[in-house]
Amino acid sequence: MPVMVASENGRRGMMAAMMLLREGGSALDAVELACRIVEDDPDDHSVGYGGLPNVLGEVELDASIMDGATLRAGAVAAVQGYGCAITLARKVMEETPHVLVVARGAERLAAELGESPQDQRTEEALRRWRERFAERGLTPGATENLRSVARILTRPLNLQDKIYKAARVDTLGTVNFIALDAQGNLAAAVSTSGLGWKYPGRVGDSPLIGAGNYCDNRYGAAACTGMGELAIRAATARSLVLYLKCGMPLVEAGREALRDLLTLDAAEGQYMNIVTLTPTGEHAGFSTVPGKQYLFQRAEMDEPQLADRLMLE
């Protein structure tokens, strides 16, 4: 019965998480484990350690996790100097009375929990960070009119990530996982270092329940990658699950969520991807642009497979 779906960059995390699910592990533990593996990978420059810095050269991490059985959720945003953002988000859910803790508060919580401070920047990420300044004729570290500098550096933005079995992964950043366990419970997790070269303190959809992540055992779960501002404005993850609640078939519900997004004034290069999973194990991926894929794996499968994301017809 266990099933998982993920964004294209979730292969290693999914394989480890599926082993846990096959052994009877919970969906919540599975999505946290999967995210942790991607967060710790320095070669993924869209998530966790090695993530691309903001315009000032600082890595800021966002993450959220949601339990479909209880609708409990936890999230952190704009975390600097600590890793394992998804685990910190789960601690917010389980050990505080809150859903979202940000910046200095989240860093304080990490310290209280015994986490060791760790610079999340790597030389490779900083090299890529500096290159974009050079490409745009700007000087790294300049702080005058920072809002204009951030706008120039972030539009449009397409990062080339790893190649898995000759499938090139292009992403604005973020990894997401949704799992259905043997007990019939759903859980979803999202983690990101956010938009590279963003204005300091910018928060996208990933840590916002209802925007980049939503999960309900009764109807299904959805999670987003891409330009987070779009999903925030359309409440994309919650909207898709709500369309399922209203009785729409999965494909129709996903395309209705795409229609919501396409009414927005997205700039060139800004897109939104969605993955979704239902309580019966039906899954799909959606995108506002062509050529995007997502990963899925059932318990009987040896490894995850890529599938095309659907668009509006």
**Active site (catalytic) residues:** 174
Amino acid at 251: V
Question: Do 180 and 279 touch, CB atoms closer than 8 A?
Answer: yes
Q: CB–CB of 155/268 below 8 Å? A: yes
Q: In terms of C-beta density within 10 A (0-12 exposed, 13-18 middle, 19 or more buried), how is residue 288 classed?
A: buried
Question: Could you tell me the end-to-end alpha-carbon distance of the chain, in angstroms, rounded to an integer?
Answer: 31
Tell me how far apart the alpha carbons of residues 214 and 205 are, in angstroms, rounded to a whole number: 11
Q: In terms of Cα–Cα distance, which of 161, 119, 205, 193 is closest to 10?
A: 161
Distance of alpha carbon 123 from alpha carbon 127, whole angstroms = 6
Q: Do the beta carbons of residue 312 and residue 272 sit within 8 Å?
A: no
Residue type, 308: D
Give the type of residue at 114. G
Q: Let me know: does 90 contact 32? Beta carbons within 8 Å.
A: yes
Q: Cα(150)–Cα(254) distance, rounded to whole angstroms?
A: 32
Give the pair of three-digit tokens for residue 206: 């990933």
CA-based max dimension of the chain = 56
Give the 3-state secondary structure of residue 31. Answer: helix
Q: Going edge to edge, which strands form the sheet with 100-102?
A: 100-102, 73-79, 61-67, 186-192, 175-180, 3-6, 293-298, 305-308
